[in-house]
Structure 1
Amino acid sequence: MGSGAEYSKQKPIIEAKEDDYLQALPLDEYGFYKSITSHFIEKSENIVQLRIFGAYGEYENYRYKFISNAIVKNLLHLPITINKNVYFDYIYSDDLVKIIDFFIYNDTKEKIYNVTTGTKVDLITLANLVNEVGDFYSDIRVIHEGLNNEYTSNNERLLKEFGDFQFTSHKNAIAKMRCYFQENLDKLDIQTIKEDPYLKAIDTMWKGK
């Protein structure tokens, strides 16, 4: 599994194609490591890398992952806080599993694939979808105006392998996730959700050392 961070998150990443990672090495440790790994994979004989930009689903860490965190906050009748709006290229975990299964059992032409929907969506839109599928309207608060660095990809290489892949809409995925978290609400770390400590670290995550 690769990461969109390989394209250097210190700058906007807009509809990146697979080979674009060769243009610059990321400054952060995680992106740097993933980028170096890709160089080795391209020289390998039996490795295929699936490069993910933002996967989400029921079993992610809801304490800080935006979509599940927003759903839990809505269930608790709390506001949804966004540090700064940004466009992502998210993929729902159920779709990701289907794609992984395909690559396990089929021969493919390339070494690296962007595994994304190829369609960008911003955090405010996702927060509004959380309100839309719920029975409570959470206040949506944005701390900083404007847009953060975009994080989106070109997935044409992936679609050439599949032909036509039906991605789950974000609205349907969020509705499924809401049911899961509602059923398990009493097992969640509610105190951390209320304190929201991870929000303070977002601005420094991809700065590098």
Structure 2
Amino acid sequence: MKKILLTGSEGFVGKHLVDFFSQKDGFTLLAPKLQELNLTSSDDVSAYLRATQPDIIIHSATSNTQGKGYADDVCEQNLRMFFNLQRYRKEGCVIYTLCSGSSYAREHWVEDMSEDYLGEHIPSDGQGFSKYVIASHARHLKNVVTLRLFGIFGEHEDHRYKFISNTIAKRVVGIDVLLFKDAKYHYLDVADFCTILADLIAHDIHSGEFNVVPDEAITLKEIIDLVDRTLGIEIPYEVATPGTGRPYTGSNQRLHG
């Protein structure tokens, strides 16, 4: 029976991973909360990993968001968490680290970015830069798998800040929706992500870098229209800026490979 350490168990993705792997045979799940394990402390991480000896680490923790943004020290926080786990894991322990499309530098996003697009541009923001550094370094490590997520949605996401659930909530109660600018996104159901991760573990994928995105992209306007059709309503909405913004989509050819 393999022992999994899941970080970020209190986050949106982490909560779903806890539910998924706690019901899956063949695993013992460790999911410490923030107050139980300070991932930015080398001493705490070293002691915890020495005591628990996990076979697999699913690293979904990230610096806490502040509204729609991140704290000023997001880069240092993210780097400390990853490098502590990488440094003090036992030999043979595989880390599945969750990355973000922000590692491709949001100012330079293009449609269907492949994994090889990493490093074409250096992210200017702290969160994106930390994800870029981690993904770049992971390419030179044994037993580290980088899983890059773009849009992800599902039950229990924060409707205050997440586009899909925010749109649903506003349409249900009749609040106007203002779309600043349309854009094409890859949105992955978090339940599908859990299944994909379990498949990678089952097939003993212990190195590599993968964009984890669905086959089809969707525009933000199409999401609003889909919500309206599902609810059976016809309410106009405003688009503040005409045209189409930068796409947030990635190629999943390597994942299918």
In the alignment, what sits opposite 2:225? Answer: 128
What count of residue pairs does the alignment treat as equivalent? 160
Q: Do structure 1's residue 152 and structure 2's residue 244 form an aligned pair?
A: no
**Structure whose residues are more often helix by fraction:** 1
Aligned counterpart in structure 2 of residue 57 of structure 1, from 154, 158, 179: 154
Offset of residue 118 of structure 1: 3.4
Runs of 4+ in 1 over 6 A off after TM superposition: none
Residues 144 and 207, structure 2, Cα contact 8 Å, conserved in 1: no
- Displacement after TM superposition at 1:97 (Å): 1.2
Q: TM-score normalized by structure 1?
A: 0.73
User: C-alpha distance in 2, partners of 1:138/1:28?
Assistant: 37
Which residue number in structure 1 is paired with residue 133 of structure 2?
Answer: 36
Residue number among 50, 74, 85 corresponding to 2:182 in the alignment: 85
- Tell me, in whole angstroms, the C-alpha distance in 2 between the residues paired with 1:109 and 1:15: 25
Structure 2 CA distance for aligned equivalents of residues 157 and 92 of structure 1: 19
For structure 1, the residue ranges without an aligned partner over 5 or more in a row are: 161-209
**2:138, 2:189 → 1: CA distance?**
25
Q: Deviations over 1:137-191 (max 9, x none)?
A: 332211111111111111011112xxxxxxxxxxxxxxxxxxxxxxxxxxxxxxx
Q: Which amino acid aligns with 2:220?
A: L
The yes-or-no answer on 1:25 pairing with 2:131 is no
Q: In the alignment, which residue of structure 2 is the partner of 1:184? A: none
- CA–CA distance in structure 2, aligned partners of residues 39 and 4 of structure 1: 13
What's the CA shift for 1:10?
Answer: 0.6
Query: Aligned to 2:249, what secondary structure does the other structure show?
Result: strand
Contact 2:109-2:247 within 8 A present in 1 as well? yes
Mean CA deviation greater in 103-112 or 39-48: 103-112
2-side partners of 1:83 and 1:37: how far apart? 32
What are structure 2's unaligned runs of at least 5 residues? Answer: 1-97
Amino acid at match of 2:148: R
Matched residue SS, 2:200? helix
Question: Which TM-score applies when normalising by structure 2?
Answer: 0.59
Asked if 2 retains the 8 angstrom alpha-carbon contact of 1:70 and 1:127, the reply is yes
Q: Any idea what SS the aligned residue of 2:170 has? A: helix
How far apart, in 2, do the equivalents of 1:47 and 1:109 lie?
A: 6
2:105/2:128 contact within 8 Å kept: yes
The one-character-per-residue Cα deviations of 1:110-151 (angstroms, maximum 9, x if unpaired) are: 510000013221100010000011133332211111111111
Counterparts of 2:224 and 2:161, CA distance in 1: 14
Q: What do residues 55-107 of structure 1 show as CA deviations (whole Å, max 9, x unaligned)?
A: 11121111011000000011101222211111111111111111111122222
What percent identity do the matched residue pairs reach? 29
Question: Higher relative CO (CA 8 A, sep ≥ 6), structure 1 or 2?
Answer: 1
Matching residue of 1:96? 193
Please identify the structure whose Cα radius of gyration is greater: 2
Alpha-carbon RMSD across the aligned residues, in angstroms, is 1.4
TM-fit CA distance, 1:13: 2.2
